[in-house]
Amino acid sequence: MSYVDEVMQRVVEKNPSEKEFHQAVKEVLDSLRVVIEKNEEKYRKDALLERITEPERVISFRIPWVDDKGQVQVNRGFRVQFNSAIGPYKGGLRLHPSVNQGIIKFLGFEQIFKNSLTGLPIGGGKGGSDFDPKGKSDREIMAFCQSFMTELHKYIGADTDVPAGDIGVGGREIGYLYGQYKRLTGLYEGVLTGKGLTYGGSLARTEATGYGLVYMLDEMLKANGKAIAGSTVVISGSGNVAIYATQKAQQLGAKVVALSDSNGYVYDKDGIDLDLVREIKEVRRGRIKEYVEARPGAVYTEGKGIWTVPCDIALPCATQNELGLEDAKALKANGCYAVAEGANMPSTREATDFFQENGMLFMPGKAANAGGVATSALEMSQNSQRLSWSFEEVDAKLHEIMIGIFKKVDEASKRYGLEGNYVAGANIAGFEKVVEAMNAQGVV
């Protein structure tokens, strides 16, 4: 049995119910076979793969809070501090009823290599809770966040572990979390990113993941003789990543024709009216189906199916495993030639393999959606200097970082004779820096 297969077997046996974690590890290890085979003896002796697939720390805790009816509620919280070889743990907090340890471990594992690709000094971590923010009052959100931070603050800090947003965690939640941290510790420090602009947040952080996704898409298309301008684009989700990916795609001349949420999707043949979507989602915290009430020419469809909408470019920006093999086949049949992942692991392994086997351009999330965490690291830099950079300065740095990530990914794929395989390129380029740091730091 190969070393990779031995380690994969260990991961499955030691984490039996964590299927998303298995999926994330398998994708990375499979693409690293060419690298591992060249160093197998040393890697085995150092138990390198056993260490890199084992979190440095997994923290789980009870979160009690009182709802508006005076009823005590209980949720479960997590923080996975996965790998600190190249910097303090850095990664988002996800609030969604589907959250469990396996989900947070898959996200934390992906974050290791994503953060490495940015070239910034940030390690991999992730956290969250099975708390469902949907339908909760502001007071209930605050009560939950204060209880969450009452536990979490024991394990985080500006030079230890810096959480941020993810699904269900936006500016409102970060604000409540930050206020509680400050109250408990008496420290005013950059311990969270995605903060409000009046208390240490960075301009362009709200836009960063979506903008960075489109910057990466632009690089991938240009390297392959294509362009965003004039293309038809379908974007899943209608949250932070999807909204600002839509904005940047429209600015670069694309026509975005569909967005979704967990209830269904809207198709607007005339192109999505982003101001209307932002009013519905960011102001009213409503459902995407409300879009057609103001745009009768648009069509709302309940449930899944957004990937049957004909497009040139697909940008999955909702959640993991939202795009499966049948979706991939439908995209190809309708002429789609490029996919870039705004979400974390939104394509199943079968869909990813299909894209690559059928000559479609494909950029995995750890490279394509790294703009968010990269800009979070820029927020940390500003906080450390007690300075605030302009939007243009941050956006220019973000764009430069995304161009740099594409170059690393492209170079790594070519170095191993895998030109155009951006999954392999991203995993190899991300892995190499982390491994060098782990080797230098000894058996820890």
Ligand X SMILES: NC(=O)C1=CN([C@@H]2O[C@H](COP(=O)(O)OP(=O)(O)OC[C@H]3O[C@@H](n4cnc5c(N)ncnc54)[C@H](OP(=O)(O)O)[C@@H]3O)[C@@H](O)[C@H]2O)C=CC1
Ligand Y SMILES: N=C(CCC(=O)O)C(=O)O
The site partner of 193 among ligand Y, ligand X, none (C-beta below 5 to 8 Å per kind) is ligand Y
84 binds ligand Y (CB under 6 A): no
Q: Does 344 bind ligand Y (CB under 6 A)?
A: yes
User: How many residues in total does the chain contain?
Assistant: 444
* Positive or negative: CA dihedral 374, 389, 205, 182: positive
Selected range binding ligand Y among 37-45, 59-67, 85-93, 409-417, rule: CB under 6 A = 85-93
Q: CA–CA separation, 316 vs 306, rounded Å?
A: 10
**In terms of CB distance, is 166 or 207 closer to ligand Y?**
166
Any contact of residue 150 with ligand Y (CB under 6 A)?
no
- The DSSP 8-state label assigned to residue 347 in this structure reads B
Residues between 179 and 218 that touch ligand X (CB under 6 A): 209
Could you say whether residue 202 binds ligand Y (CB under 6 A)? Answer: no
Residue 326 CA to residue 73 CA, distance in Å, equals 40
Pick 81 or 347: Cβ nearer ligand X: 347
Task: Pick one of 238, 246, 347, 352: the residue that binds ligand X (CB under 6 A).
Answer: 238
Return the structure tokens found at 270.
Answer: 């005339």
Which DSSP string corresponds to 60-90? EEEEEEE-TTS-EEEEEEEEEEEE-SSSSEE
Q: Of residues 14, 69, 105, 126, which has the active-site annotation?
A: 126
Rounded distance, CA 194 to CA 295, Å?
A: 32
The continuous run of DSSP H or E covering 37 comes out as helix 33-38
Q: Does 376 engage in binding with ligand Y (CB under 6 A)?
A: yes
The residue within the footprint of ligand X, chosen from 127, 175, 239, 364 (CB under 6 A), is 239
Joined together, the tokens standing for residue 97 give 């009823």
Q: Does the annotation list 369 as a binding residue? A: no
Amino acid at 266: V
Judged by beta carbon distances under 5 to 8 A according to partner kind, the member of ligand Y, ligand X, none in contact with residue 168 is ligand X
Rounded to a whole number of angstroms, the minimum distance from the CB of residue 422 to ligand X is: 17
Among 314, 343, 426, 434, which residue interacts with ligand X (rule: CB under 6 A)? 343
Do 152 and 192 touch, CB atoms closer than 8 A?
Answer: no
Residues within window 413-442 making contact with ligand Y, judged by CB under 6 A: none
164 binds ligand Y (CB under 6 A): yes
How far is the C-alpha of 155 from the C-alpha of 152, rounded, in Å? 6
Rounded to whole angstroms, how far apart are CA atoms 210 and 240?
A: 7
Going by C-alpha positions, the residue among 377, 403, 391 that lies closest to residue 120 is 377
Question: Torsions phi, psi of 321, nearest 5?
Answer: 55, 30
Using CB under 6 A as the binding rule, whether residue 383 contacts ligand Y is answered as: no
**Could you tell me which stretch among 224-232, 269-277, 372-380, 404-412 binds ligand Y (CB under 6 A)?**
372-380
Q: Which is nearer to ligand X, 341 or 410 (CB)?
A: 341
- Cβ contacts of 131 within 8 Å, gap of 6 or more: 63, 75, 95, 97, 144, 148, 168
Residue nearest ligand X (C-beta atom) = 239
Q: Least distance from C-beta 136 to ligand X, angstroms?
A: 13
State the binding partner of 91 from ligand X, ligand Y, none, CB within 5 to 8 A by kind: ligand Y
Q: Which stretch binds ligand X (CB under 6 A): 144-152, 234-242, 348-356, 388-396?
A: 234-242
Q: Annotated binding residue at 90?
A: yes
Instruction: Confirm or reject binding of residue 372 to ligand X (CB under 6 A).
Output: yes
Beta-bridge partners for 83: 124
Per CB under 6 A, does 261 bind ligand X?
yes
Q: Is 111 marked as binding a ligand?
A: yes
Stretch that binds ligand Y, among 41-49, 84-92, 173-181, 250-258 (CB under 6 A): 84-92
Binding residue per annotation — 240?
yes
Show the site string, 94-113: x = touches ligand X by CB under 6 A, - = not.
Answer: --------------------
What string of DSSP letters covers 235-300?
A: E---SHHHHHHHHHHHHTT-EEEEEEETTEEEE-TT---HHHHHIIIIIS---GGGHHHH-TTSEE
Within a 10 A sphere around the Cβ of 329, how many other Cβ atoms?
A: 15
* Per-residue interface string for the shown chain with ligand X, residues 320-339, x marking contact by CB under 6 A: --x-----------------
- Known catalytic residue at 126: yes
Q: Give the footprint of ligand X on this chain (CB under 6 A).
A: 92, 165-168, 209, 237-242, 261-263, 317-319, 322, 342-344, 369, 372
Active centre residues (catalytic): 126
Question: Which residues fall in the annotated binding site for NAD(+)?
Answer: 209, 240
